[in-house]
Chains A and B, each alone.
Chain A
Amino acid sequence: MTAPFPRAGAAPAGRAAELALVERCRQGDAGAFEEVYRTHAGRLYSVACRMVGNPADAEDLLQEIFLSAHRKLDSFRGESALGTWLYRLAMNLCLDYLRSKASRTSHLTDALDDEPGLADASSRGLANRALTRIDMERAVAQLPEGCRAAFLLHDVEGLEHREVAEALGIAEGTSKSQVHKARLRLRALLTE
């Protein structure tokens, strides 16, 4: 098992160090950028993999995320943690990728009008049912992309709703409702 990754949000004391690191990256210091990569690549790869559903595409996306990050370093002002800033880049690229894929295959799947998981009076829910990692991974892969992104960042990666909102460019309330809908949808998928 890999070592635990640092959380996306950095304490104010860590922000100064982050800014100094980013400044070294801006100067073309390969070692500094490798440090950024080593710190954040695991979490970004995990999210990308679970967003796009296969490791090969996630590898390509991870490359794009870091190439894009390096090109956009000048726009990083340290207002948010570097991790959150990177998540935002990552999620934009993942969502662009999925939309472009969907437009190619004409499978637009982002409808979330229903409230799955409530109409289960006859079901016993998840009680007495083993919930394996594979079950979870499969069910998460079936979530609509919008709520999947929020769910992965909040429930899997452990970001606060405020950080999820920042990373996805949405309101905090929207983050909550997307995560809640994702959980209900997962419950329906897992009890099918």
Chain B
Amino acid sequence: MACARHVNAIQELVDGTLGSIRRAELELHLEQCEPCRRLADDLARIRDSAASLEPLTPPDRVWLQIAGRLRQEGRIAAPTPLAAARRTFMPLALAASLLLIVGASLYVLYPRGTAPDEAASAGNAPAADAVQGVETEFRLAEQHLQNAINKLQEAAKADDAAIDTQIASTLQKNLEVIDQAIAESRSALRQEPQSVPARDSLFDALKRKVSLLQDTIALMNQMRKGDAAGAAQIVDSANKS
């Protein structure tokens, strides 16, 4: 059993607050007293083990709940009614309008995308006219998509819980790569209106753009829900695409 009269000094030794004279005395005692030495070793191990316990991380939802309660109580600035309405409805509205745009674009592009083949084989209309038609429709669809992107970015700016600048920049870079692929496909299709690879490449790039837009909407929804893990997964997937 450790010596009762040395226990406080041993604790202070472990705390690192024991003065030099008392420390020297205690160290002399510890050399001769195994139970006290064992006690000092054990307490130091407990102190070290406690200090190495990792901090725990609260789930992201806790902050959202706190912010919600404070807004309800009027203690922090509530979003304006317009911003709140946009926060609630805009991503859903954009998702719906994007689906319509994408559906319409694919409907318009795909059948006419086959037109050059049919036209050439039938010999009824010049291939260039068909390609021009596809181009016009494509430009319109592109314009709609770009408008939707602009609205998404506007919504992201209005929503303080939405996409941050770095993620928006990543999405923008991916979008530029896809736009480049679309431009190259369009150029190839213009030169060779009957080229199946050029047509496939155009549709493939278009689908990738659709997928990126869907990711953007999903990301906004995850961020609004405070689901950081879900958002990270979407960003990761967008980076890989």
Binding site for B on A (CB under 8 A): 1-2, 5, 28-31, 33-34, 37-38, 41-43, 45-46, 49, 55, 58-59, 62-63, 66-67, 70-71, 115, 117-121, 124-127, 131, 133, 136-137, 140, 151, 155-156, 158, 161, 176, 179-180, 183-184, 186-187, 190-191
Contact = CB atoms under 8 A, between A and B. Distances in A.
B63 A126 contact: no
Nearest to A37: B63
Given A1-B54, A125-B42, A126-B41, 7 more contacts: A33-B76, A41-B62, A67-B69, A115-B4, A125-B38, A125-B41, A179-B11
B82 interface: no
Given A30-B70, A118-B7, A71 B75 contact: yes
A156 B66 contact: no
B58 A2 contact: no
Contacts of B58: 41-42, 45, 58-59, 62
B218 to A, nearest CB: 24
Contacts of A158: 51
Binding site secondary structure of chain B: helix
Given A67-B70, A137-B53, A131 B45 contact: yes
Contacts of B1: 118-121
Nearest to B67: A30
B39 interface: yes
B77 A29 contact: yes
Contact of A155 (B8, B35, B47, B69): B47
Given A29-B77, A180-B11, A156 B38 contact: no
B161 to A, nearest CB: 10
Nearest to B50: A155
Contacts of A33: 67, 70, 76
Nearest to B70: A70
A179 B46 CA distance: 11
B56 A28 contact: no
Given A28-B77, A42-B58, A131-B45, A125 B39 contact: yes
17 contacts: A30-B76, A30-B77, A37-B63, A46-B55, A49-B56, A58-B56, A59-B58, A66-B66, A70-B75, A118-B7, A125-B42, A127-B42, A133-B53, A156-B53, A180-B7, A183-B43, A187-B39
Nearest to A120: B1
Contacts of A191: 42
B65 interface: yes
A1 B53 CA distance: 11
B14 interface: yes
Nearest to A38: B63
B59 interface: yes
A140 B53 CA distance: 11
A126 B43 CA distance: 9
